[in-house]
Structure 1
């Protein structure tokens, strides 16, 4: 009896690019900005209630800002993609022969023999010419296409979640130990975030953790210095 090979399952990571980027950015920004904000206010000798209120205001404002900024940014990408697709659609209607030659040339450059490239181009043009040109000429696919609403919601939710972590420490820590507690906890949260993001994205976990910890510590250090300086002046 002939032996049939069972197709092995493949798990690729590119389908995670859109939401992963927005989620990691939102959570990282939520932790860093909120922790830095409350540390700066605490360094200026504010009361515990004012520090907590400032952090909550920063969470709400930051989540809305992240959502709006991500939506506008990704929507601009989506507008560009749609404009390119409209132009490509018009070119396919105007001169499909030239577009097929263009597709053939792309496949030849990628390593196919010309005869085979011509056959592939012809079959793809018969099946879905716009999808073929979008994918192979413009680099647009379903996995990488811009999704503004998804990116905005993901960024806002992840920012709020990230900001809630240092805020929880602020709510629980006594005023005398607030700054070191927030700094230590936030760096821990950032390290864990870097590890999780690296694991999801298939990258090195230690490098991912070290990267976010370094920039988070720098941001908190600078903000604490500014808060102490203005608090001393006041």
Structure 2
């Protein structure tokens, strides 16, 4: 407690939180949307090429979806066709009610903000799909922002989304006052490259503990619900 009777500001003043697999339960929606994208781009399901591509999508979870499709197809037109089909299929699933928060995620966001921290969601989805998810969950007033690669310049594993969250909110004075949390290697790598003060992985999504720690996670949590306690226990 400071001499004026007020609590000092938290050491972590901005939390940058991934969406699908971290704050939002994935439930196989990414794979479902990829299958629709592959069909639209002329890749038949069940074949060797489809299997190879699906594995790549799983390995690159968290990255910008258009960048993933560019890597897969090596052709801008096919990549854009596939990406449009992916976003359409994901948004349709969200519209049909296949979208729910990870248990405890909403409570965690509320706790973080009540402690004086800003919370910004990030995703590899296009803005329209991101907004469909945020609106379906009624999160407009629960977070301080939601960003896609189109808002930042480049998607994960580049640091742009983390840095854009810091610049747009002005919630922290330095990157060391930022915590990053996500379920993929790309999330962790982006946090490390940005210079975040804390980078945490969670086990509710695409990648396991070994992958997350191998990418440089400072901590691996069962879910984002544990993040407020982790910050408290570390004096952050």
Is TM (by shorter chain) over 0.5?
A: no
Q: Which has the higher contact order (CA 8 A, sep 6+)?
A: 1
TM-score (norm 1): 0.30
Q: Which has the larger radius of gyration?
A: 1
Query: Whose strand proportion is higher, 1 or 2?
Result: 2
TM-score (norm 2): 0.30
Query: Whose helix proportion is higher, 1 or 2?
Result: 1
